[in-house]
Amino acid sequence: MTKEEIIRPENKVYSRPALLTDVHTHYCPGCSHGVVHKLIAEILGETGLGDKAIGIAPVGCAVFAYNYIDIDWIEAAHGRAPALATAASRLNPEALVFTYQGDGDLSAIGTAETIHACNRGENIAIIFINNAIYGMTGGQMAPTTLLGMKTATTPYGRRVDLNGYPLAITDLLAQLDGTCYVTRQAVHTPAAARKTKAAIKKAFENAAAKRGTSVVEIVSTCNSGWKMTPAQSNDWMAEHMFARYPLGDLKNVEPQQTTDK
Amino acid sequence: MKEEIVIAGFGGQGVLSMGKILAYAGLMDNLEVSWMPSYGPEQRGGTANVTVILSDKAISSPVLDTFDTAVVLNQQSLDKFESKVKPGGTLIYDPSGIHHLPTRTDIKVVPVDAMGASIELKNAKTYNMILLGALLACRPIVPVDAVLRGLKKTLPERHHHLLPLNEEALRKGMSLV
Amino acid sequence: MEEVKLMKGNEAIAHAAIRYGADGYFGYPITPQSEVLETLAELMPWETTGMTVLQAESEVAAINMVYGGAATGKAVMTSSSSPGVSLKQEGISYLAASELPALIVNVMRGGPGLGTIQPSQSDYFQATKGGGHGDYHLIVLAPATVQEMADFVGLGFDLAFKYRTPAMILADGIVGQMMEKVVLPPQRARRTEEEVRQQCPWAACGRRGRDHRNVVTSLELDSAKMEENNLRFQRTYAEITANEVRYQEYFTEDAEYLIVAFGSVARICLKAIEDARAAGVKIGMLRPITLWPFPTTEIARLAKQVKGVLTVELNAGQMIEDVRLAVEGAVPVHHFGRMGGIVPNPNEVLAALEEKFSIKF
């Protein structure tokens, strides 16, 4: 069998998503960001939504997300992505607007913007990478850092008396009337990645259909910050992170007339 | 023609709206006008004042130190503005609640019992229109017709049934001087 | 002929924004400028022109909404007063760095800190020297009348789009709160999506078949490229400085002393000048309309003709630094200012002239 006989459309089982740009990412090997980027690029390509998408990039490890997914992007100031998305969405009702944010961006410095965008029910999707650490700045504590977890700023482990409790902000967002779909997923196994893909797709469709705010938290690993191998990170996440951040839908309001004029 | 007026009293006495009606009257009469309020928390129960300038020429400063005419509705305002009336100017005040009467003799001092008159009209809200009438009787800077048209501009449509009462108050005020 | 209306400066800003065809306003209440948002809410432009009006959760959110809207090519604005404008500085720096047009209105009150709600001009440094981090400038317009409050909305947007840089209207509590006559500009339609895409080919508003993606960002970690970005910003600022200086002169032809004042304070000074001239003393005034770019050349020219210059400001002496740079020691330059929300009256200006230059009135 020749190579030409093998490389035929009917034999094709996988190809690089068209909207994933042909560059090396700056992400560490084993990082969850790469998987989530690929899922987003796939969805935007498969649904055709990429042509009308405006992505809002955060400050943090995903600051260069705009280099990897071939759509229009706006790079926000730290924590302000939901504010940018609010205006981009309201002023461009035909566009699909989504933010891509980490735990520091979304649940520390940008808590107010996050809560109020969700509470107003902005027609946007929020993709939230929770790896319980600040990756970009070198592994400091995040609001979502687990108790006892060692980081650069909690070198002896996070303590309640010093640092307070891990913040499950997604639980809080699910309580708000403006959110229509709030879910917590992961990408540590192919099965989990498939569920995450379905969740992001649903969030994008909700935003495009003006159903309110959708939040997809992806409990993720940061093997560099956690000082583990990628495989160890996945195991550690399943063992420890899921206990505090259990996977599954927190809220799923079926499509209906959600907004008064 | 240029008239520099200050109106001062408690918040809620209609000080700012009286100034506003006067400014609108100036607008109706094709004059240049400026209306500069004190603003902030003092509007709620404390003292409020507004500077209104009507002129047939462009107005430079909306902020003034001395005035042709002062309308003062409480003791603090009298204490503050009596000295700021230009010699030969006019000071109009409502004697209700005034314990220390004005003392200047180089200005025209006009007491107007607007409180009593508004009780006669059985409507406390006519208070500032009575004073405005008194002001116009002392200083006929804009025609009554312009005031009524100015009032119509400032009043929302749903309150237009109050226009006759306001005209009555204006004329009553004029008769008090 | 447009109808002459009577309104507050803050209200004029709101009306003018709708008339300009602005796409969005994002604000947060603060005295003494809350009438901007209140007037917009009352006028409901979303029902007429389709303009978006939103009360944000904070000044920080509001300026970042402006950033997000501007990045999609829309004509967007915010307004606030001094403490709120301090909060907006991060977003303003990002707008400048991302070369985005936007309009920011500061109706100044006295500071520092929570300060007072009364009028002030103590944000001159903040507005004209950058304000946030990094090397940037805003185009700064200083209105002295309610008419200029209305007119500078259109002018500010036009300049912002022409040079792709944020513009600021630097007003104060006096001109924000006072009412006077105004003729509003004619109603313009908002730009269509196609017009936005044509006018702003850089806008990140969704590709819709465009052969490349648009990315609006202020980030550039390659220092050589970042320096090139900075040099490009500076070229824009040089072009603005060369073309957009605006000012007004009063009685300067025969002036022996010159007042430099901006905004509503210039009106107080004008009254003082009228009084001085009545007493036979020839005072003139230059009122900068653009505080950045500053009318340096014009002040230098007038400095050759007068015996002294007085700046009158509602601050401890901020614009005086730019005036001194213009005058370059040719004649004495003095400052007279009040702070804390105190507004001087014309007599105080005359007294200051008397004291600083030993003039007798």
Asked if residue C200 is part of any domain, the answer here is no
Asked whether residue C10 falls in the same domain as residue C117, the answer is yes
Asked whether residue C78 falls in the same domain as residue C142, the answer is yes
For the record, the structure tokens of B123 come out as 């409507």
Residue of C178, C264, C274 best to disrupt the B interface, most CBs of B under 10 A: C178
Asked whether residue C187 falls in the same domain as residue C266, the answer is no
Answer for the pair A217, A170: CB distance below 8 angstroms, yes or no. Answer: yes
In whole numbers, what is the pLDDT of chain B averaged over residues? 93
Contact C346 B64 (CB under 8 A): yes
pLDDT at A256: 57
Domains of chain B: 2-175 (3.40.920.10)
Q: Domain containing C265 — which CATH number? A: 3.40.50.920
Asked if residue C58 is part of any domain, the answer here is yes
Asked whether residue C147 falls in the same domain as residue C8, the answer is yes
Asked if residue C229 is part of any domain, the answer here is no
Answer for the pair A183, A250: CB distance below 8 angstroms, yes or no. Answer: yes
Residues of B within 8 A of C118 (CB-CB) are 40
Reply yes or no on whether the pLDDT at A248 is more than 50: yes
Contact A73 C216 (CB under 8 A): yes
Asked whether residue C189 falls in the same domain as residue C337, the answer is no
As for the ipTM of the complex, it is 0.93
Reply yes or no on whether the pLDDT at A260 is more than 60: no
Reply yes or no on whether the pLDDT at B154 is more than 90: no
Interface check for A159 against chain C (CB to CB < 8 A): the answer is no
pLDDT at A261: 42
Over residues A109-131, the pLDDT tens digits come to: 999 999 999 999 999 999 999 99
Asked whether residue C67 falls in the same domain as residue C180, the answer is yes
The segments of chain C whose pLDDT lies below 50 read none
pLDDT at A257: 53
List of residues 6+ apart from C1 with CB closer than 8 A: none
Domain positions in chain A: 26-252
Asked whether residue C172 falls in the same domain as residue C62, the answer is yes
Asked if residue C216 is part of any domain, the answer here is no
Residues of B within 8 A of C32 (CB-CB) are 39-40
Over residues B26-63, the pLDDT tens digits come to: 999 999 999 999 876 655 567 899 999 999 999 999 99
- d(Cα A155, Cα A165) in Å, to the nearest integer? 16
Nearest by CB to C177, which of B24, B37, B65?
A: B37
* Domain end call among C123, C158, C193: C193
How far is the CA of A113 from the CAs of A116, A189, C77, in angstroms? 5, 32, 18
Burial class (CB in 10 A: 0-12, 13-18, 19+), C287: buried
Asked whether residue C28 falls in the same domain as residue C150, the answer is yes
Backbone angles phi, psi at A19, to 5 degrees: -90, 0
Over residues A156-175, the pLDDT tens digits come to: 999 999 999 999 999 999 99
Contact A83 C193 (CB under 8 A): no
Band of pLDDT at residue A255, cut at 50, 70 and 90: low
- Which chains form contacts with chain B, at 3 or more CB pairs under 8 Å? C
Band of pLDDT at residue B64, cut at 50, 70 and 90: very high
Band of pLDDT at residue B153, cut at 50, 70 and 90: confident
Nearest by CB to C69, which of A52, A57, A87?
A: A87
Contact C179 B32 (CB under 8 A): no
- d(Cα C226, Cα C92) in Å, to the nearest integer? 18
Reply yes or no on whether the pLDDT at A4 is more than 90: no
How far is the CA of C10 from the CAs of C4, C173, C180, in angstroms? 16, 9, 11
Residue of C87, C95, C215 best to disrupt the A interface, most CBs of A under 10 A: C215
- With touching defined as 3 or more inter-chain CB pairs under 8 Å, the answer for chains A and C is yes
What's this model's pTM, rounded to 2 decimal places? 0.94
Asked whether residue C140 falls in the same domain as residue C26, the answer is yes
Mean pLDDT for the stretch of residues B130-155: 94
Asked if residue C236 is part of any domain, the answer here is no
- d(Cα C65, Cα B144) in Å, to the nearest integer? 49
How far is the CA of C138 from the CAs of A222, B161, C71, in angstroms? 41, 50, 17
- Which chains form contacts with chain C, at 3 or more CB pairs under 8 Å? A, B
- d(Cα A155, Cα A158) in Å, to the nearest integer? 8
- To the nearest whole Å, the CA of C117 is away from the closest chain B CA by 7
Asked whether residue C265 falls in the same domain as residue C133, the answer is no
Backbone angles phi, psi at C205, to 5 degrees: -120, 25
Q: Please count the CA atoms within 13 angstroms of the CA of C225 that sit on its side-chain side.
A: 5
Nearest by CB to C206, which of A53, A86, A112?
A: A53
For the record, the structure tokens of B66 come out as 């001395």
Answer for the pair C205, A92: CB distance below 8 angstroms, yes or no. Answer: yes
Nearest by CB to C178, which of B35, B40, B153?
A: B35
Backbone angles phi, psi at B167, to 5 degrees: -65, -40
Number of H-type helices and E-type strands within chain A = 11, 9
Specify the residue for token string 């503005």: B81
What is the span of the domain harbouring residue C278? 249-357
For the record, the structure tokens of C168 come out as 């600021």
Interface check for C277 against chain B (CB to CB < 8 A): the answer is no
Over residues A7-60, the pLDDT tens digits come to: 888 888 888 999 999 999 999 999 999 999 999 999 999 999 999 999 999 999
Question: Regarding the domain delimited by A26-252, which CATH topology (the fold level of the hierarchy) does it fall under?
Answer: Rossmann fold (3.40.50)
Interface check for A84 against chain C (CB to CB < 8 A): the answer is yes
Asked whether residue C274 falls in the same domain as residue C177, the answer is no
Residues of C within 8 A of A83 (CB-CB) are 56, 60-62, 64-65, 67-68
Q: Quick count: other Cβ atoms within 10 Å of Cβ C154?
A: 18
Contact C267 B60 (CB under 8 A): yes
Least CA distance to C264: which residue of chain B?
B61
List of residues 6+ apart from B168 with CB closer than 8 A: B121, B126
Nearest by CB to A74, which of C24, C60, C216?
A: C216
Question: Mind spelling out the 3-state secondary structure of A18-58?
Answer: CCECCCCCCCCCCCHHHHHHHHHHHHHHHHCHHHHEEEEEC
Least CA distance to A59: which residue of chain C?
C219
Total number of residues shown for chain C: 361
Q: Domain containing C19 — which CATH number? A: 3.40.50.970
Backbone angles phi, psi at C276, to 5 degrees: -65, -45
Total number of residues shown for chain B: 177
Nearest by CB to B62, which of C32, C117, C174?
A: C174
The count of structural domains within chain C is 2
- d(Cα C345, Cα C202) in Å, to the nearest integer? 49
